[in-house]
Structure 1
Amino acid sequence: MATQLKNLSDFSHTTIPSSADFRFAIITAQWNAEVTGALYQGAYDMLIQQGTPEDNIISVAVPGSYELIAGAEMMLSSRKVDAVICLGCIIQGDTPHFDYICNGVANGIANVGIKHSVPVIFGVLTTLNLEQAQERAGGKHGNKGTEAAASAILMADLQRSLK
C-alpha cells in the first residue's frame, strides 16, 4: 500500500490561506467518539491556526455518520457559513451495513454541497478496523480532520475568488 509509511497530513506542497474572514461549521458524529473527537480537534486546531476567530466556528454533534447529512442540511438552511466540515468514522463489521452507510454518507454529503452551492467537506473515515481509524485520526497517517479543515479553507477561498 502506497500510504503505509506516509503521513497524509502534509501540506508542504500547498499554501493554506488565512481563514480570518470565513465562517465554518464542524459537524461531528458521536459514534466512535474516541476517533471523531480526535478528528474534531485536528479540524478545529487547523481553523484556529489559519486565523479563524473562535466565534466563526460553529460546532455541532450528531449521533452517527449517517446523520452528518441532515446536520449539514440543517446548518446550511439556517446559518450563513462559508463551508461545512463533516467528520465521522465508519468501521467495517461483519455485514453489508458498512457498504450502505458509506455510500449513503458519501452521496448525501456531496448532494448537500451541490444543493446549497457551499463546500461540504467529507472528513469521514471508512476503515476496516479501529487501528486504521486511529492511524488517520492523529496517528502515523496524520489527521483527516486537519486535512478536512484545510480543504474547507481552500474551497471557501476558491468560492470567494469566483464571486
Structure 2
Amino acid sequence: MSTHLPTSSLPKIEDARIAVVSAEWNGHITGPLTEGAVSTLKENGLTDDEIGVFTVPGAVELTFAASKLIESSEYDAVIVIGCVIKGDTPHFDYVCSSVTQGITHLNAECDIPVIFGVLTVLDEQQALDRAGGRLGNKGSEAAETAIKMVAFNRSV
C-alpha cells in the first residue's frame, strides 16, 4: 500500500520540456523508476520530443548532469533518478550527502526545479518496493512533482 496521498490534482502544462537523468548504478532499480517517470509524463500530455532521457554512471554524477541540462536552457524541469543502497561502509553516507547537497544547491541557485528522485534505502527490497513494487513507483511520483513545479514556476 502506497503512503503517497495526492494533495492536489496535476495541473495541465503546455509546451513543457522535462529531462530525466538516471544513474546506471543499480540499474535494475533505476530502470523501472525512469520508466515510471516517463510513463507519467506521457500520461499527462508530454510527447517523446518533450522528454529528454539521459544516463550517468552513478548517483554522484547526477548533480553534474542536472547542472549541464539546466545550462542548456532546453528544459523546464530536471528529474534526477538514482538508487543508493546502504552497505557495510560509510560510502552510502558520502554518496547520499553529496547528491542531496548538490541537488539542494541547484534548486537554490537555478531558475528551474530539479526533482529529487533518488532512493536512499537500507536494503534492496526497500528499493524494489519503491520501484514499482508494493509502495508504488517513486519515479512516477517524481514526474508528478516535476509537472507541479513547472506549473508553480510559471505562475510566479
Specify if TM > 0.5: yes
What's the counterpart of residue 107 of structure 2? Answer: 113
Q: Kindly state the Cα deviation for residue 18 of structure 1 after the two structures are TM-superposed.
A: 2.0
Q: Kindly state the Cα deviation for residue 54 of structure 1 after the two structures are TM-superposed.
A: 1.2
| Pairing 1:17–2:11 present | yes
Alignment of 1:13-162 (within 5 A): 13-162=7-156
Tell me, which stretches of 5 or more residues in structure 1 are unaligned? Answer: 1-5
Q: Kindly state the Cα deviation for residue 21 of structure 1 after the two structures are TM-superposed.
A: 2.1
Root-mean-square deviation (Å)? 1.1
Q: Distance in 2 between matches of 1:70 and 1:40?
A: 18
Give the secondary structure class of the aligned counterpart of 2:60.
Answer: helix
What's the counterpart of residue 8 of structure 1? Answer: 3
Deviations 1:123-161 (A, max 9, x none): 000001110000000000011100100000000100101
Q: Distance in 1 between matches of 2:87 and 2:20?
A: 27
Q: Kindly state the Cα deviation for residue 80 of structure 1 after the two structures are TM-superposed.
A: 2.0
Q: Distance in 2 between matches of 1:8 and 1:41?
A: 20
TM-score, normalised to structure 1, is: 0.92
Q: Distance in 2 between matches of 1:47 and 1:34?
A: 21
Tell me, which stretches of 5 or more residues in structure 2 are unaligned? Answer: none
The verdict on how the C-alpha distance between 1:42 and 1:10 changes in structure 2, with shifts beyond 3 A counting, is farther
Q: Distance in 2 between matches of 1:29 and 1:20?
A: 28
Paired-residue identity, %: 44
How many residue pairs are counted as aligned between the two chains?
156
